[in-house]
Amino acid sequence: MKPYRTPAADKIFGGELVEKKSRFIAAVMHTDTESEAAAFLASEKKKYYDAKHHCSAWVIVGEDGAPDIVHSSDDGEPSGTAGRPILDCITGRGLKNICVVVTRYFGGTLLGTGGLVRAYSGAAVEALEATEVVEMKPMLTTEVTFGYAGEPKVRRYLSDHGLNFADPEYGADVTFPVLLEPETADEFEADLTNLLNGDVLFERGTIDFIGVPV
């Protein structure tokens, strides 16, 4: 499970470029699956229903170690002048689980293949530069249970090490759900065992991708 960068979820980021009266309107969205990416493309086509070209590209993280799913479409523009340049803008920034759609309103002047590549790339860059990016990191949730007397020490340790934790649960003992980078779990448990003189229990949970702002 390797970290990757992706747009912040539940937002659409945009950019626009005008070249010889042709408008290139770019939109970026976080998408976890190909079907989500296709649905976003369909929504942009519906939004700009009177435009002729809706060129697109997306990269979706492959499941269970499979290769990433990569797609690009020129949508009627000359081959290689739209979809691939958009895709290059995505991969050049190392972004995944992302869909970019660039809609073109023709302005009456032909741009040539080089002009189209620059225009589609430029619009994509405008939108990507406006995109909020998060880093998805594999994180391990570990529940730490100890006596009440140890809570100030644990809180201080977590704060000093910049570790995130959810609201504690209070019962016969105190339980802190803590997020850890998986490779640090052994060291973390050893530190708290020493800090609390062995009066602590650990229960490791699942490893999930968590978004961290870049």
Q: Provide the domain count of the chain.
A: 2
Do 127 and 139 sit in the same domain of this protein?
no
Whole-angstrom distance, CA of residue 82 vs CA of residue 179: 41
Question: Which residues lie below 8 Å from residue 170, measured CB to CB, with a gap of 6+?
Answer: none
Closest CA to 22 of 88, 82, 84, 103: 103
| Last residue within a domain, chosen from 87, 106, 131 | 131
CB count in 10 Å sphere of residue 16:
15
Answer with the one of 93, 113, 131 that is the final residue of a domain: 131
Could you list the residue range(s) of the whole structural domain that residue 150 is in? 135-213
CATH value at residue 164? 3.30.70.240
| Domain shared by 126 and 142, yes or no | no
Has this prediction a pTM greater than 0.85? no
| Whether residues 102 and 152 fall in one domain | no
Do 33 and 101 lie in a common domain?
Answer: yes
Q: Which of 84, 105, 131 is the last residue of a domain?
A: 131
In DSSP notation, 124-178 reads: HHHHHHT--EEEEEEEEEEEEEE-GGGHHHHHHHHHHTT--B---EESSSEEEEE
CA distances from 19 to 23, 106, 108, 156, 195 (A): 7, 10, 11, 57, 64
pLDDT in tens, the chain (214 residues): 688 999 999 999 999 999 999 999 999 999 999 999 999 999 999 999 999 999 999 999 988 778 999 999 999 999 999 999 999 999 999 999 999 999 999 998 999 999 999 999 999 999 999 999 999 988 999 999 999 999 999 999 999 999 988 899 999 999 999 999 999 999 999 999 999 999 999 999 988 888 877 7
Indicate if 88 and 70 belong to the same structural domain: yes
Question: 57 and 9 in one domain?
Answer: yes
105 backbone dihedrals φ, ψ, rounded to 5°: -105, 115
Identify the pLDDT of residue 28. Answer: 98
> Which helix (H) or strand (E) is 71 found in, with range?
strand 69-73
Q: What local confidence, expressed as pLDDT, does residue 1 receive?
A: 64
10 with 101, same domain?
A: yes
